[in-house]
């Protein structure tokens, strides 16, 4: 997240294709190793769902960081994308937490 803030402060602008490439890199990294904080292993079938949700959440957070500066500048469309992204991220956080709790019980 600190990297996002540094880029925003530096004023660098990324094209959508660059952000898509970054998102796919995060997803590939997570699908290879899994989210370390949740302790999932690659071998079991059930762990694939939380990993994909976690990777999707990370990608959404990355995209949210890019909408903050235009929102402060008064962009209505960026504000709407930011709102939708926050709502989507909140839902994914709930799903990830529920999955973590289910796995902790079993």
Domain range list for the chain = 12-105
pLDDT tens digits along 57-91: 999 999 999 999 999 999 999 999 999 999 999 99
DSSP 82-105: HHHHHHHHHHHHHHHHHHHHHHHH
Residue-wise pLDDT tens digits, 35-62: 444 433 344 444 555 578 889 999 999 9
Closest by CA position to 34, among listed 62, 53, 20: 53
Residues contacting 33, CB < 8 A, separation 6+: 42
Number of H helices, E strands in the chain: 4, 0
The pTM for the full model equals: 0.52
Residue carrying structure tokens 């930011």: 82
């Amino acid at each position: 997240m600190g990297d996002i803030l540094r880029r925003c402060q530096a004023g660098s602008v990324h094209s959508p294709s660059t952000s898509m490439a970054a998102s796919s890199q995060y997803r590939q990294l997570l699908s290879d190793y899994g989210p370390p904080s949740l302790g999932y292993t690659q071998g079991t079938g059930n762990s694939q769902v939380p990993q994909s949700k976690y990777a999707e959440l990370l990608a959404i957070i990355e995209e949210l960081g890019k909408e903050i500066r235009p929102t402060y500048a008064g962009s209505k469309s960026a504000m709407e994308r930011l709102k939708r992204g926050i709502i989507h991220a909140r839902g994914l956080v709930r799903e990830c937490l529920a999955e973590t709790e289910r796995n902790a019980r079993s």
